[in-house]
Amino acid sequence: MAEHNEPTQWIIVTGHSRGVGQRLVSKLLAQSDYGVIGISRSVNEQIEEWQNTYSEKFKHISYDLNDVEGIKKLFLNEIASIGPIYGLVNNSAMAYDDIASNLNITKLQNMYNVNVFAAMQLVKYTLRNMLLHHTQGSIVNISSISAHTGYKGLSMYASSKGAIEAFSKNIAREWGSRGIRSNCVVPGFMETAMSDTLTEEQKARIYKRTSLKKETNVDSVCDSVIFLLSSGASSITGSVIHVDNGTI
């Protein structure tokens, strides 16, 4: 049965078709009064199910975030008319894994388009929407443990996540006086599509570097994001919160 409760607060979640993004949207729709605007390149069965079940509180937008220049039109023509934006979760990420001596500038630029520039553009227009509607909102950027602990082949990917962490901290300082918060969640390695290319031996070596000696729980990451979006985290901004099984 379709749900018809009109949400009063809308949250944008990028990369909601799989992995952390998919689990996060499932939790937001089931456990909260938030409306969710999902942005991803593709539509799958889960997205179609959300559209049928949560017809009034879930909106899907098909968009390739590699097209950074088009985000202004996307926001003004498709997102702004849905309702005032309360939250943004920059979750989409492209992984370009290789050692630095093999760096390919085209692949690097494509990764930065998705991981950094598109995220920054979405923050820009989300901020403008919040200011227009006098919304004291919350921005959450998904980083990676690779920005804090070195892994062979992840130097370039880690650099993109380090950039978004620095951006997030400064957004917190710039807009805190308007009640707008900005935080990062740093997940450890999880069993998601992005880790499918790793062998079991490689995964085991990674998990041994954590205090809990296992993969990071996806639900724990999602619950941390939901908390940062909530009023319960009203005094938390400019933070980088690790959800990584104690990778120290």
Closest to 155 measured CA to CA, from 211, 113, 213, 102:
102
| Cα separation, 184 vs 168, whole angstroms | 7
Which residue pairs, CB below 8 angstroms and at least 24 apart, start in 37-40? 37/10, 37/11, 37/12, 37/13, 37/61, 37/79, 37/82, 37/85, 38/12, 38/13, 38/14, 39/12, 39/13, 39/14, 39/15, 39/63, 39/65, 39/74, 39/92, 40/14, 40/15, 40/16, 40/92
| Number of residues that this document lists for the chain | 248
| Cα separation, 22 vs 8, whole angstroms | 22
**Token code pair at residue 156:** 């370039």
Answer yes or no: are the C-beta atoms of 139 and 87 closer than 8 Å.
Answer: yes
Strand intervals (E) in the chain: 10-14, 35-40, 58-62, 85-90, 138-142, 181-187, 240-243
DSSP state of 152: T
The residues carrying an active-site annotation are: 157
CA dihedral 25, 177, 166, 124 (to 10 degrees): 60
